[in-house]
Amino acid sequence: MPTGEMLSDGALISSISRHDGSQRYNLTFQLTPRLYGTFRYAIIDSFDGNGSARYDRSFDVGYLFTEESLNWPSIVIGLRDFGGTGAYASEFIAGTKHFLDHRLAVTGGIGWGRLGSYGGFQNPLSVFSNRLKSRSENALSHGQDTGQLDFDQWFRGDAALFGGLSYKITPNLTLKAEYSSDAYEVEGANAGFTHQTPFNFGLTYSSRYANLSAYLLHGSEIGISASFITDPKRAAIPGGIEAAPPAIVPAAFRRAQGWEGHSTDQGKARLTQALRDQGLILEAVSLSGSEVTLRLINTRYRAASQALGRAARVAANTLPSSITTFHIELVRHGMALSRSSLRRQDLEALEYDLDGAWKSFARTTISEADSKAIPPVTETYPLFDWSLTPYLEPELFDPDNPVRADLGLQAFASFEPVRGLVFSGALRQRAFGNLNTSTRPSNSKLPHVRTDITEYAKQSDLQIKHLTGEYFFRPGPDLYGRLSAGYFETMYGGLSGEVLWKPVEGPLALGAEINYARQRNFDQLFGFQRRDVVTGHVSAYYDFGGGYLGQLDAGRYLAGDWGATVSFDREFNNGFRVGAFFTLTDVPFDTFGEGSFDKGIRFDIPITWLVGAPARSGFSTTIRPVQRDGGARLEVRNRLYDLIRDSHVTELEDGWGRFWR
């Protein structure tokens, strides 16, 4: 039963429940204090009356219309199972009021669709239009028009009332009772479900990180559920476990600690080593009177502001006291991204100030990086990096087997011989798994640009995941460029070019990308198939503030279809990121196939959030209800926007609390 309550802002809840042979897996995210979204995957036994299970994927959304007050309940308006098969399709308005010092919660509401199927009456909204009196049958779970948004069915047809109580017996134990307006009509007709009563009862045990529940449902079934709570705002190890930064050396000792008494080469060597000790590579240095410009490569810290703070401390301790202003430019693949100018006297004055983070940001000038060419330090290039790690590659929601995965080892290497030129590759050796067991052939009416993905798991256990050469450059002020060639991803290789306009300060960025893509051989080693395509997009990026990011990409996709992708993400200050996207192209819904159009949710989880140790890397995953060929975009590493934005004003300000860490 829905309620009029919201989760805490930013909460991420995963849950599993089971009753009467049916299983539901939910993932709920509190996107804003007033808006939540849920992705549901359900396995419903005999739902279609043919003895087989339905594997159902759908989305819910709820909006907090009014907050609870002394005399008024909190009210939520919501949609269930939109963009799915309609198995749970319903709409509701629910209100919740708390009493007895929040120990007792009373909920009442009205529902439509499934939530209007027991004790239903004529839709009260029909006073506005007679069309609201009826609701088409296929909107009630017959799986037609899968994936489409049935706007014309929302809040239509019979309505019914529901309600419930929850009472906290102890801080951890809650007793629940509800009157349900769901008649379970389809389950009763096709799966032998017995609906004896609309009353349900439950008991929930809650802890900080999990809830465990048991239910008596409709007088005939016992259900169980478990939910697990993640707070993206709170890292596993708050504050981190990195080594403390070097304290700024008092002025009385600075002359002995700096370049005084040493040759320029000796001073540069001391500076280079001190920066390396902090995970920073000195890419270039330039002295001019009482000012110094340092161009640095950050290899350790997720927050660019923390890298700036460490660099500023090293500069204050290592450079002669005659240098009073530090211009620090963070560099990514040879591109200087921004220029942060700090004064020595401010660093010394604010190091132990109670409000030192904000005051130091207010006294720092952040601007476009200096366009003047500075020769790199001799010892900087070539740069080499490598890793050997386990990998897990999942494949979800195949009706024959909802969860498949491969596990193995991945070797990665990156070589940067000169500024801006990067060669990298990743080689995988599968150890075990079952991605290669899929036997479901593609029934797509479009070119099989994605639906043949299972063929790539069958040919070879040794796979080249990517092998590319990339060149990054700054064509002008506020402009960034990328040229790439090679094997980009599992299915495609080719050529790619991108240009991005993004000022250091400001919410808007604009980009354009063009690609020539050719499909790789199924063995994921060397070689291509015959199919090729030219794709490209123009993109607009907008930072709404508060961690909310929007993106619009319009152009041509891998199947030759034209359209646009809309993305919306929420990123927390610690780098944890949750987003959703959808793509609409000129491919008709019935030609697209199951799902009607491409859509999904995605997660980016920094290593730092998980283990507390500083790191630049993280884990990313995308969940689609179904992968089809329409609206499929080429995957290219190191697209420019995410490569550079962490060193610009908004991101630096959001993470400036780590400047002194």
Averages of pLDDT over runs of 10 residues in the chain (661 residues) are: 94 92 91 95 76 82 96 96 84 97 97 94 93 73 60 91 97 97 81 84 95 92 94 85 86 57 71 94 92 95 95 92 93 96 93 90 94 83 95 83 90 96 97 87 90 89 96 96 98 98 97 98 94 98 96 98 98 94 94 89 94 90 91 97 95 93 90
Whose CA is closest to 12, among 209, 172, 224, 236? Answer: 209
Task: Give SS3 for 395.
Answer: strand
Residue 361: is it exposed, middle or buried by C-beta count within 10 angstroms (0-12/13-18/19+)? middle
User: What is the count of structural domains for the chain?
Assistant: 2
Report the pLDDT value the prediction gives residue 239, as an integer from 0 to 100.
76
Report the pLDDT value the prediction gives residue 438, as an integer from 0 to 100.
82
- Beta bridge partners, 335, equal 332
- CA torsion sign for 380, 383, 388, 390 is positive
Q: Between the CA of residue 179 and those of 61, 108, 155, 208, what are the distances in Å?
A: 22, 9, 20, 28
Report the pLDDT value the prediction gives residue 516, as an integer from 0 to 100.
98
Indicate the residue among 185, 214, 230 that finishes a domain: 230
- Report if residue 326 sits inside a domain: no
Indicate the residue among 200, 230, 260 that finishes a domain: 230
Place of tokens 């793509």: 583
Q: Where residue 619 sits, what CATH number does that domain have?
A: 2.40.160
Question: What tokens appear for 361 in the block?
Answer: 């940001």
- Give yes or no for a contact between 185 and 196, defined as CB atoms under 8 angstroms apart: no
For 97-111, the DSSP string reads EEETTTTEEEEEEEE
- Report if residue 649 sits inside a domain: no
Give the separation between CA 197 and CA 220, rounded to whole angstroms: 8
Give the separation between CA 249 and CA 167, rounded to whole angstroms: 59
- Report if residue 275 sits inside a domain: no
- Beta bridge partners, 357, equal none
Give the separation between CA 287 and CA 317, rounded to whole angstroms: 16
Task: Give SS3 for 440.
Answer: coil
- End-to-end distance of the chain based on CA atoms, in angstroms? 46
Report the pLDDT value the prediction gives residue 94, as an integer from 0 to 100.
98
Whose CA is closest to 616, among 607, 625, 624? Answer: 607
Place of tokens 């509701």: 92
Give the separation between CA 267 and CA 273, rounded to whole angstroms: 10
Q: Distance between alpha carbon 209 and the CA centroid of its chain, in Å?
A: 21
Give the separation between CA 418 and CA 363, rounded to whole angstroms: 35
H or E element in which residue 272 lies: helix 264-277
157: which residues sit within 8 A by CB, 6+ positions away?
112, 113, 116, 123, 132, 133, 134, 135
- Report if residue 487 sits inside a domain: yes
159: which residues sit within 8 A by CB, 6+ positions away?
110, 111, 112, 116, 120, 121, 122, 123, 124, 125
- Report if residue 443 sits inside a domain: no
- Give yes or no for a contact between 33 and 9, defined as CB atoms under 8 angstroms apart: yes
Beta-sheet pairing, 280-288 with 221-230:
unpaired
Indicate the residue among 230, 254, 288 that finishes a domain: 230
Task: Give SS3 for 228.
Answer: strand
Could you list the residue range(s) of the whole structural domain that residue 166 is in? Answer: 12-230
Place of tokens 């090293």: 314
Whose CA is closest to 554, among 536, 533, 528? Answer: 536
Residue 425: is it exposed, middle or buried by C-beta count within 10 angstroms (0-12/13-18/19+)? middle
Task: Give SS3 for 653.
Answer: helix
Helices 264-277 + 304-318 axis angle, to 10: 140
pTM equals 0.92
- Report if residue 581 sits inside a domain: yes
- CA torsion sign for 114, 115, 119, 123 is negative
Q: Where residue 136 sits, what CATH number does that domain have?
A: 2.40.160.40
Give the separation between CA 458 and CA 33, rounded to whole angstroms: 46
- Report if residue 267 sits inside a domain: no
Task: Give SS3 for 371.
Answer: coil
- Report if residue 561 sits inside a domain: yes
